[in-house]
Structure 1
Amino acid sequence: MDNRWNEFIYKVWSPYYDKFFNSGQFLKARKEIFSGYHFAENQKILFVGVGTGADLELFDHNNLMITAIDYSDDMLNKAREKFKGSTIQFIKMDAQEMSLQDNQFDVIVGSLVLSVVPDADRCLKEMLRVLKPNGEVVIFDKFAPKEKGLSRIKKAIRPFIKLLGTDIGINFEELCEKNKNTTYIKEDTSLMLRGMYRKIVLGKINV
């Protein structure tokens, strides 16, 4: 997985993405995330890996200052088309190296992005860098099972799944441990497939 390969893969995926990841169980899971989360008026919010804008369809964004980034032009164009005339700012940007100021956003949302970027640790560090102290990162993604490794079958198919543009083997607990000086877990909820897909809310430590 690298940026060039991901850009190609999501060019291919873009016409079909919503049919797979914005319907059925995935849509139900996304709705659960945003039905229980309240954005305050005039908050500055960053969507990392916004894709086709699936998450943006699930809440009222009036009176919110939203920036949405993605590395795929094709996915971003789908999102721009959905939200013509809105105040949402869509920008092509590498989530692992954001051209954004430190401590800028009140809330950061990352849906199905840590499992897609080449380096999940770099991506999370960037999210925390641009997050205000005491802000929150809301994550929806798939992770390896807690306190145990992947099964033999998943280990065997992991390289092939990566070729489709995603990783099934990221251990979130290890990722969080690497960033324990800047973040802590506020919520960790299983949403799909026996805990493979989780909603995780991180707080930023005010240092």
Structure 2
Amino acid sequence: MKNSTNISKYKRLAPVYDIIFGKFFIKGRKRAISMLNLNRDDKILMIGVGTGQDLNLLPFECFVTGIDISDAMLSKAKEKTRDRNVNLLNMNAERLEFEDESFDFAILNLVLSVVENPREVVCEALRVIKEDGEILIFDKFIENNSKVSILRKLLNKVTSIIGTDINRCFEDITDGLPICIIKDEPSMFNGNYRIILLKKS
């Protein structure tokens, strides 16, 4: 995955993303966000906000900052902001332009399988959440220490065309990082997707 090519891929995908994937991921998104104990006035960072499908799942009173590398996706997200406290910015998730400990929560739904350097994204999320903040991740991962089959490698070539890598391992991405996993539960497709809630260790 390359950030430069992702921009062009998601420019093409943005107009039809909600039509194709809107209902597909909604159950997983809802379950993931239900794990967060959100309060009014919490500051939430949505990394890879995309077309904003998670926005309406958050409490109206929260202050939400959504970042994405695709202007086309951000344009779609803007349509869902209404009168909410939402600020949308074009920004690279691997180099967040925020001060340390700026947010109470960071949400990375369907992001780590898309970005060029997922480990850098997690590091940046850890940097910008407060000491007692939490990071929520909903994405697809291969099992730790599992061997990727030839069929899955071939399938990954297809999925990469639309901008997603199905062969990433969460444990490899976060190996050695100062994290403490609060919850980790299987989600869609017999656990090929996982919902992970973590904080700084």
TM-score, scaled relative to structure 1: 0.92
Letter in 2 for 1:161: T
- Aligned residue number for residue 6 of structure 2: 6
Provide the C-alpha distance between the structure 2 equivalents of 1:37 and 1:102, rounded to a whole number of angstroms: 21
Letter in 2 for 1:42: D
- Aligned residue number for residue 154 of structure 2: 156
CA deviation after TM superposition for structure 1 residue 135, in Å = 1.0
Aligned length: 201
Is residue 41 of structure 2 the alignment partner of residue 45 of structure 1? Answer: no
CA deviation after TM superposition for structure 1 residue 73, in Å = 0.3
User: After superposition, where does 1:121-200 map in structure 2 within 5 Å?
Assistant: 121-179=119-177, 182-200=178-196
SS in 2 for 1:178: coil
Q: For residues 93-116 of structure 1, what are the alpha-carbon distances to aligned partners after superposition, in whole Å with 9 as ceiling and x for unaligned?
A: 000111111111111000111110
Provide the C-alpha distance between the structure 1 equivalents of 2:185 and 2:168, rounded to a whole number of angstroms: 17
Kept after mapping to 2: 8 A contact 1:22/1:54: yes
Q: For residues 118-152 of structure 1, what are the alpha-carbon distances to aligned partners after superposition, in whole Å with 9 as ceiling and x for unaligned?
A: 11111111111111112100001111123312222
CA deviation after TM superposition for structure 1 residue 70, in Å = 0.5
CA deviation after TM superposition for structure 1 residue 32, in Å = 1.5
Provide the C-alpha distance between the structure 2 equivalents of 1:36 and 1:129, rounded to a whole number of angstroms: 21
SS in 1 for 2:66: strand
Determine what percentage of the aligned residue pairs are the same residue. 38
- Aligned residue number for residue 28 of structure 2: 29
SS in 2 for 1:101: coil
Kept after mapping to 2: 8 A contact 1:45/1:66: yes
- Structure 1: give runs of 5+ residues left out of the alignment: none
CA deviation after TM superposition for structure 1 residue 155, in Å = 1.6
- Structure 2: give runs of 5+ residues left out of the alignment: none
Provide the C-alpha distance between the structure 2 equivalents of 1:65 and 1:59, rounded to a whole number of angstroms: 10
